[in-house]
C-alpha cells in the first residue's frame, strides 16, 4: 500500500496516514489528495513518491501543458475516462501515458489492445490528472479539487458571489461558480476533438514530425463534451423498506458511496429531493443528490461558504439539525435555482459528526412551495450510525494494507 510505503520511508507518520485515511473514507479521492489537503505532502513530493512506489517515471507539467493533438487522439475519450490515462507522446509504436494508477496491469493491457501500441506508463497525482482532464477534454473537476488551490478558491468564490445562475432548464450547460472563459493564450481549458474529425494517419504524423513539427504544439479544438463525460459513475441508490433494513445495509457498507446510496435512498422515502454535502475548509461542497428534478451534475458544482448567512452556516455553527424556512440570502436563492425551481416553504438539514466536527450534511425538502416532512426521527437514528461505519472502513483499510 502506498501509505505504508510513505510511513516506512519516514516521509509521513502513522498519525498523518490515519488522518488522511479518515478523510479519504469521508471525502473520497486518492490517498495522496488527502495527504495534500492535510498538509502532509505537497504536489511535487507526492508525484516523486508515486513514481518511486510504482517504479515508473513522472512528467513535468511544462510537457503536460503542451500535449500535441495527435497524441491525444490515440486513446478514445471513453478509455481516457475509464482507465484514467492520458497519452502525451508516442514514438515507434511506444505510447507514453500518464496514469493515476500506473500499477494497474489490467489497464495497461487494455490500453495496449485498444491502441495497438506498447504502453509506457508514468505517474501523476490525482489533482494534476483531473486538471489535465479539464484542460484537454473539458471534463470538469469537482469543486473539491478546485479548492485545493487557494488561488482557485478565491477566484471561484469571487465568481460565485458576482454571477447569478440561470435555471438549469433554461441553460443546462451553465453551472454556478463556473470560472470565466479566458482569452486565447491565457492557458484556458482546452476542449476535445469534434466527434466527426478523423484520426491522423500514423504515416502522416511521422512525416510531420520529420518535417519539424513540434510534438509540444498545443491543442486548439473547441468542442465541449456533455455532462455525461464525468469521471465518476452515477451513484446507484438503495431503497430500504424500513429503518432496520436501512441500518443493516449501512452497516454492511464497503465504501463511502455505499453509505451515500443508503442515506439518499432512505431520505427519498421522506423527502422529494435530497442532497449530501461535504464540509471542508469552511465550505459546504455538493457531493451527491437525487429526487424530483435534481440534476446530479449541478449538485456536484455547488459550493456554499460557511462564513456567510445561510441555513448551512447555522447547522455548521451549532452542530444541530435544522427544520424550518430557508433564509432569504442570495446563496440560498442560487442553491434552489440549481435544484431546478423556487425555494420550498421549509427544508431539513442534518449534520453528520466525526471526531468532534461536522463532516457532512444531508439536505431534504419536498419541492417548490412545499413544507418538508418533520417526521425525521428514524433518519436521525440512521445518520447516527454513519460515524461508526466510517471508523470501521478506516480500520478495514489499515488491515488490508
216, pLDDT greater than 60: no
Summarize pLDDT for 6-52 with one digit per residue, the tens.
999 999 999 999 889 888 888 888 999 999 988 899 889 999 999 99
pTM of the model: 0.70
160, pLDDT greater than 70: no
CA atoms within 13 A on the CB side of 220: 4
- Alpha-carbon span 211 to 219, nearest angstrom: 19
Are the C-beta atoms of 53 and 66 separated by less than 8 Å?
no
Nearest to residue 331, comparing CAs of 310, 349, 348?
310
Bridge partners (DSSP) of residue 91 are 94
Q: What percent of the chain has pLDDT over 90?
A: 47
Does 138 or 375 have the greater pLDDT score? 375
Domains, the chain, in order of start with CATH, read 2-41 (no CATH), 57-229 (3.30.300.160), 243-400 (3.30.450.40)
328: enclosing H helix or E strand = none
Q: Average pLDDT for residues 139-166, to the nearest whole number? A: 60
| DSSP symbols for 234-255 | PP-----SSHHHHHHHHHT--S
Position 229 scores a pLDDT of 42
Which residue, chain included where needed, has cell 495527435?
Answer: 70
Task: Give the burial string for 259-289 (b: 16+ CB within 10 Å, else e).
Answer: bbbbbbbbbbbbbbbbbbbbbbeebbbbbbb
Q: Average pLDDT for residues 147-161, to the nearest whole number? A: 55
Contacts of 260 (CB under 8 A, 6+ apart): 235, 276, 287, 288
Mean residue pLDDT of the chain comes to 80
Q: Average pLDDT for residues 40-68, to the nearest whole number? A: 92
Summarize pLDDT for 27-40 with one digit per residue, the tens.
888 999 999 988 89
Summarize pLDDT for 342-352 with one digit per residue, the tens.
789 999 999 99
pLDDT-derived band of residue 298, with 50, 70 and 90 as boundaries?
confident
319, pLDDT greater than 50: yes
Q: In whole angstroms, how large is the CA radius of gyration of the chain?
A: 22
Amino acid at each position: 500500500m502506498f501509505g505504508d510505503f510513505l510511513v516506512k520511508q519516514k516521509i509521513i507518520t502513522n498519525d498523518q496516514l490515519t488522518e488522511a485515511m479518515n478523510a479519504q473514507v469521508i471525502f473520497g479521492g486518492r490517498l495522496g489528495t488527502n495527504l495534500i489537503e492535510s498538509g502532509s505532502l505537497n504536489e511535487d513530493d507526492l508525484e516523486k513518491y508515486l513514481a518511486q512506489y510504482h517504479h515508473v517515471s513522472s512528467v513535468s507539467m511544462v510537457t503536460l501543458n503542451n500535449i500535441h493533438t495527435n497524441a491525444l487522439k490515440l486513446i478514445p475519450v471513453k478509455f481516457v475516462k475509464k482507465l484514467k490515462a492520458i497519452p502525451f507522446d508516442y514514438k515507434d509504436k511506444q505510447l507514453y501515458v500518464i496514469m493515476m494508477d500506473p500499477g494497474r496491469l489490467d489497464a495497461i493491457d487494455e490500453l495496449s489492445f485498444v491502441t495497438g501500441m506498447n504502453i509506457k506508463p508514468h505517474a501523476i497525482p490525482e489533482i494534476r490528472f483531473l486538471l489535465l482532464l479539464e484542460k484537454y477534454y473539458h471534463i470538469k473537476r469537482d469543486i473539491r479539487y478546485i479548492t485545493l488551490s487557494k488561488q482557485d478558491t478565491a477566484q471561484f468564490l469571487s465568481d460565485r458571489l458576482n454571477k447569478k445562475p440561470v435555471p438549469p432548464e433554461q441553460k443546462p450547460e451553465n453551472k454556478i461558480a463556473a470560472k470565466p472563459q479566458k482569452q486565447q493564450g491565457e492557458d484556458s481549458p482546452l476542449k476535445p476533438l469534434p466527434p466527426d474529425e478523423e484520426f491522423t494517419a500514423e504515416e502522416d504524423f511521422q512525416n510531420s514530425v520529420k518535417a519539424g513539427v513540434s510534438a509540444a504544439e498545443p491543442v486548439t479544438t473547441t468542442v465541449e463534451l456533455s455532462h455525461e463525460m464525468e469521471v465518476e459513475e452515477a451513484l446507484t441508490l438503495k431503497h430500504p423498506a424500513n429503518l432496520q433494513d436501512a441500518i443493516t445495509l449501512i452497516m454492511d457498507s464497503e465504501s463511502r458511496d455505499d453509505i451515500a446510496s443508503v442515506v439518499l435512498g432512505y431520505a427519498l422515502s421522506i423527502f422529494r429531493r435530497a442532497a449530501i454535502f461535504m464540509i471542508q475548509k469552511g465550505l459546504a461542497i455538493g457531493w451527491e443528490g437525487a429526487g424530483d428534478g435534481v440534476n446530479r451534475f449541478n449538485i456536484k458544482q455547488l459550493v456554499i461558504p460557511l462564513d456567510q448567512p445561510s441555513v448551512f452556516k447555522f447547522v455548521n455553527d451549532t452542530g444541530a439539525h435544522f427544520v424550518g424556512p430557508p433564509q432569504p440570502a442570495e446563496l440560498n436563492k442560487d442553491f434552489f435555482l440549481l435544484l431546478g425551481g423556487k425555494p420550498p416553504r421549509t427544508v431539513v438539514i442534518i449534520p453528520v459528526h466525526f471526531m468532534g466536527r461536522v463532516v457532512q450534511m444531508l439536505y431534504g425538502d419536498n419541492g417548490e412551495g412545499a413544507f418538508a416532512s418533520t417526521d425525521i426521527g428514524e433518519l436521525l437514528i440512521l445518520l447516527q450510525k454513519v460515524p461508526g461505519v466510517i471508523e470501521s472502513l478506516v480500520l478495514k483499510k489499515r488491515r488490508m494494507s
